[in-house]
Structure 1
Amino acid sequence: MASLEDIAVSAFINILSAIGFLLAFAVLRVQPINSRVYYPKLYINGLRSSPRGSMNGVLRFVNFNIWSYIVSFLGWMPEALKMSQTEIIQHAGLDSAIYLRIYILGFWVHLCMAYIFTLWTSYMLYMEYDNVAFMRLHFLASQHRRVEQFTVVVRNVPQISGHSIAETVDHFFQKNHPDHYLSHQAVYNANRFAKLVRQKERLQNWLDYNQIKFERNPDKRPTSKIGFLGLCGRRVDSIEYYKQRIKVLDNRIASEHQKIIKDPKAILPVAFVTFGSRWGAAVCAQTQQSKNPTLWLTEWAPEPRDVYWKNLSIPFVSLSIRRLIISISVFSLVFFYMIPITFVQSLANLEGLEKVAPFLRPVIEFTLI
């Protein structure tokens, strides 16, 4: 679908072309050398004689009267519009008059059909959007209420001196959405905490595996080497080893949890804001919240399972730069991909392959019979 920029460029080119043709017509029609081209009927009826007969030198071919160019540019239009059908026949002939009638008829038919088609399309779109809105409302009403239907994720919350992110978010939405704002949840930079939790989960899986292995064979306790990839190093009891490592990780996880809660810098400029109605959440998610378009960025909150929490700590500027780099990379890939495609296409037939690789000519021209 064409964008507004594409339409504007196309309109600009068409307008420039029309002005260029009008200028060319205005210049060519006043030249003495083109007199018989633009006024043939006047010559046939004896109403006009060649201006070249009374001129000498270059004046027989080129008109140097500046005022005639100014009058000729648009001055012929009012006179042409005032001409009756009889005058058109006398001036341009019957064929021209018939052509103009067909042209005018086609213009009005096109105009009427364009209006009819536009009205019909608008009506069909209105009915379709009405049906889609009804289906969406019916679907939402038939579903169980979920928290993400009332929640908006807010990014790039500004840091106000003397106030925490949580206080800033609460004050902002109580002031701007007092009738629908319900609560909010600040987001903490817990990437290190999450990394420790994942390590504990992996160790817990190994502990469960060795415990099950021991239950199946109680006569032999499982052992493993604690060196590189379990291939070298001292051999230890697997169950006791993983229990000890999990205990150490539990202490580190508890310490990291307390550190995150007590450190105000751990709070990210991101928050999940919950509203009392879907309408309030929709208004917040689909409108600009600040005069500065880079602050208080809102969008619908995804399901908790769809949130990649690690990315929430990436700054807005960094995200914008990454999007720009990805766009440039995709454009470069698509653009420069045509070079190898063109080269491979040239090898799609034997003649092209023979031109590119002349040393393969004996193989290409080899015949079995």
Structure 2
Amino acid sequence: MNILIVTDAWEPQVNGVVRTLKQTRLELQKLGHKVELIQPQQFRTMPCPTYPEIRLAFMPGKRIAAEIARFKPDAIHIATEGPLGMAARKYCIKNDLPFTTAYHSRFPEYVHLRFGIPVKWTYRWLARFHNAARAVMVPTRVVVEDLQAHGFNNVVLWSRGVDLDIFRPGSRERLQTRRPIFVYVGRVAVEKNVEAFLQLDLPGSKWVCGDGPAAAALRARYNESNGVHWLGVLNQGELAQVYNSADVFVFPSRTDTFGLVLLEAMGCGCPVAAYPVTGPIDVIGADGPGALNEDLRQACLDALHIDRAAVRQHAEQFSWAAASRQFMQHLHPFSESAQRELRLAVQTAAE
């Protein structure tokens, strides 16, 4: 099958959406499918307001149509709601082509934190965007229920995985600071609530791995003088070393829908401390590989007593192969009539 994925999130961005799409493409190719992506590097772009490292495609409509015509997909998946996603959605609706979408992050909450726009307004717009799809893929059952409550239709579960060959128990010598060592990995932005971790009164030392729009201000406020160390963006092999060195992985976000870093840390046997919210609840559960508490400091201290072997065992339940098979089940391949519509659209464009 020829599968086309349209995404506004792609390299050089380092985040869960990009990693999910890269792993999914790899697994689908292993199954014999041909997978192509339409992504921002193929277009003229402009910086995203308040987040300049994210580039947004500028007026992509004609190029989207040309790429679809060239590839002749059997199924189209729209991964994001940005300019590329909107242009692909418009094309599919105009040409009566079925498509699926995905909901990766709590965008309404992010927009509210950054711009103060009421959450219900953004959810209303998103429901309109996604309800044109045959299926809206989301990472956890809690998110399924949340979106249904906000008027989303055809919401289905598409879980996530972890590369257990990269993220596995290993040497604990990478971080040479006072123990216990508490680590955060991820984007350093207001919606990630990183400062809630940095301001905790904890024994030992803290590390932050990642970058983002809030990094400079937080680095100035929290540094080695108060036990906080910074590493910046790391590759997967380096991240595995950091997870192994840490005594606890701290996940302070209240807005993530899943959190791939949770699985990465657990793959290395590192216990998790987090708030009892969507994402940690689904990935960790009520007990076992992590400690969930509205008092994040207490969660960090409780996580110190969790057996690392049990944490690794929990992570082994998640695989990219299984997640990608779920993805395939939710795709809506074009019918013969839709294929005729696509051929007609291609012919009309050529004329």
TM-score band by shorter chain is under 0.3
Q: Larger Cα Rg: Structure 1 or Structure 2?
A: 1
* Higher-strand-fraction structure: 2
Larger helix proportion of the pair? 1
TM-score for both structures, normalised by structure 2: 0.22
Q: What's the TM-score, normalizing by structure 1? A: 0.22
